[in-house]
Chains A and B, each alone.
Chain A
């Protein structure tokens, strides 16, 4: 955990990428971690091919949740909604590139859950029954 708080993590924490809101998002999801009060919202813009053409996230939380989310969200741009659904814990850890202790895993995974919910919402919207 000592090693977690590297400069690039702190940079993502203090200067999160794609932070804010879209004017007309196609899909939105939010969640909170009741344990620590972390909150996160993800907004997606989806093109005709079903790919993420723009993305924003917002919320508040610890360095682990914010930096993990910032890196994950950054990597989601250009991906298809289906491939976002295929992301898992390993993808996040790979992205972050640093060990996370079991007690903080929930923090690191907050962004993943919200991003996937947003992708699901996007898929549902694209193919109404």
Chain B
């Protein structure tokens, strides 16, 4: 792969060398061109090593052992939490709850906060472009509580239409909205939504699954009430995610799952619950993956989130420029089509080639993209699309990947005999 050469072109050190998988070849002998980071990112060696080191050197359960490796595991686990807190500029580490992923974090809020605070006639407001993970939990919550689910509309470019927001916010208790659309890459105006929701006394959960990996995020500057993310989309392992919540909200919420670790004292009749954040972490946590996620955060912080954003913006601009030639041959790009309003995602269709066929043809060239509805079926219906082909970028992608994508699309055009 031409990673080294492109890294020089980009004036950056060779990030690709940090990701062992990017040196792999497919069974057809093609270099792996990974353009599906919006689904899950690749992992740098430091993260793989952190997992390995934990299991080899200090695997022990946390928060109870008195022996040395148990103390070391507990420290590393809590230090990882502190790293995430700094990364998001949270006020304190106790406001970060470990979950399995963003989906579980949203469900935690829907069950715990939602169950305690929503009543018939209250309104839950989401947008039309949410991932199923930030839609279905609210549908179920509305069913359980008799609350009404409303939607912030999107336009054909995937931008939220905020002109009717104040009407939609009437009787609203909670707004749940993505920070970045996983299907279109649109960066959404969450700060404005938070301000207007707060003005009527509603709280806001921001689904940062696609934003935290790509943009500098400051939960206090955003004044987010809840912010959720998944480690696996930001260089970390699968199976670990985060719920950030303001202390006052988390303290007032009832526990979500019950069991060991989340209690202070237990009698046969009743229990009192642990303090934050452990009140929401029942049972043995995903210790290894939390620690390794801490290493991913270190890696991202060292790379620099501003730097990352600049890198992706430059790459997107280059991709739009290269793809323009194909637009004349029937390529359609969805979403804002503007590197300043979009984060590393390009969603497209090519003439009458179905997205799945496109993905299959690209696969023969070692190029990994995603085809389908991207877990946003209502949005696809809204945009009148059955499926799109989505290429998504991250810090390890460079111009050579865009060039490979364009060459792959040209191959597809030839196979399908497009003029």
Give the interface of A toward B (CB within 8 A).
1-2, 4-5, 10, 14, 35-38, 60-64, 101, 103-104, 107
Known: A1-B363, A10-B417, A64-B357. A37 touches B352 (CB 8 A): no
What's the nearest-Cβ distance from chain A to residue B136, in Å?
A: 14
Cβ of B112 < 8 Å from any Cβ of A?
no
Q: Mark each residue of chain B from 336 to 361: 1 if its CB lies under 8 Å from any CB of chain A, else 0.
A: 00000000000000001111110011
**Which A residues lie within 8 Å of B380 (CB)?**
37
Q: Could you show 7 A-B contacts with beta carbons less than 8 Å apart?
A: A10-B416, A36-B354, A36-B386, A37-B372, A37-B387, A63-B353, A103-B360
What's the nearest-Cβ distance from chain B to residue A103, in Å?
A: 8
Is there contact, CB below 8 Å, between A14 and B352? yes
Q: Nearest CB to that of B352 among chain A residues?
A: A14
Is there contact, CB below 8 Å, between A104 and B356? yes
* A36 touches which of B353, B364, B371, B416 (Cβ 8 Å): B371
Is there contact, CB below 8 Å, between A61 and B354? yes
Docked Cα-Cα span, A104 to B371, in Å, equals 12
Is there contact, CB below 8 Å, between B356 and A5? no
The number of chain B residues touching the other chain, given as a range, is 20 to 34
**Which B residues lie within 8 Å of A63 (CB)?**
353-354, 357
What's the nearest-Cβ distance from chain A to residue B131, in Å?
A: 16
Docked Cα-Cα span, A6 to B372, in Å, equals 23
What's the nearest-Cβ distance from chain A to residue B408, in Å?
A: 12
Is there contact, CB below 8 Å, between B372 and A62? no
Q: Nearest CB to that of B354 among chain A residues?
A: A62
Docked Cα-Cα span, A62 to B352, in Å, equals 9
What's the nearest-Cβ distance from chain A to residue B204, in Å?
A: 31
Is there contact, CB below 8 Å, between B416 and A37? no
Is there contact, CB below 8 Å, between B360 and A104? yes
Q: Nearest CB to that of A107 among chain B residues?
A: B356
What's the nearest-Cβ distance from chain A to residue B370, in Å?
A: 11
Cβ of B415 < 8 Å from any Cβ of A?
yes
Cβ of B373 < 8 Å from any Cβ of A?
yes
**Which B residues lie within 8 Å of A5 (CB)?**
357, 361, 415-416
Given contacts A1-B360, A1-B363, A4-B360, 20 further A-B contacts (CB under 8 A): A1-B364, A2-B361, A2-B364, A2-B415, A5-B357, A5-B361, A5-B415, A5-B416, A14-B352, A35-B372, A36-B355, A36-B356, A36-B371, A37-B386, A37-B387, A60-B386, A61-B386, A62-B357, A64-B357, A107-B356
Which residues B367-419 have CB closer than 8 A to chain A?
A: 371-373, 377, 380, 386-387, 415-417
Q: Nearest CB to that of A5 among chain B residues?
A: B415
Q: Nearest CB to that of A104 among chain B residues?
A: B360
**Ranked 10 nearest A-B pairs via Cβ:** A62-B354, A62-B356, A37-B386, A5-B415, A63-B357, A62-B357, A2-B364, A37-B387, A1-B360, A36-B356
**Which A residues lie within 8 Å of B377 (CB)?**
37
**Which A residues lie within 8 Å of B387 (CB)?**
36-37
**Which A residues lie within 8 Å of B371 (CB)?**
36
What's the nearest-Cβ distance from chain B to residue A109, in Å?
A: 14
Is there contact, CB below 8 Å, between A101 and B372? no
**Which B residues lie within 8 Å of A101 (CB)?**
360
Docked Cα-Cα span, A36 to B371, in Å, equals 7
**Which B residues lie within 8 Å of A62 (CB)?**
354-357
Docked Cα-Cα span, A14 to B363, in Å, equals 22
Q: Mark each residue of chain B from 108 to 146: 1 if its CB lies under 8 Å from any CB of chain A, else 0.
A: 000000000000000000000000000000000000000
What's the nearest-Cβ distance from chain B to residue A19, in Å?
A: 15
Interface centre among B354, B363, B386 (most CB of A within 10 A): B354
What's the nearest-Cβ distance from chain B to residue A69, in Å?
A: 13
Docked Cα-Cα span, A62 to B355, in Å, equals 7
Docked Cα-Cα span, A37 to B386, in Å, equals 6
Docked Cα-Cα span, A1 to B363, in Å, equals 9
Interface centre among B356, B364, B415 (most CB of A within 10 A): B356
**Which B residues lie within 8 Å of A37 (CB)?**
372-373, 377, 380, 386-387
**Which A residues lie within 8 Å of B386 (CB)?**
36-38, 60-61
Q: Nearest CB to that of B385 among chain A residues?
A: A37
Docked Cα-Cα span, A104 to B361, in Å, equals 12
Docked Cα-Cα span, A84 to B415, in Å, equals 33
**Which A residues lie within 8 Å of B364 (CB)?**
1-2
Docked Cα-Cα span, A24 to B355, in Å, equals 34
**Which B residues lie within 8 Å of A36 (CB)?**
354-356, 371-373, 386-387
Docked Cα-Cα span, A60 to B352, in Å, equals 11
Docked Cα-Cα span, A35 to B371, in Å, equals 9
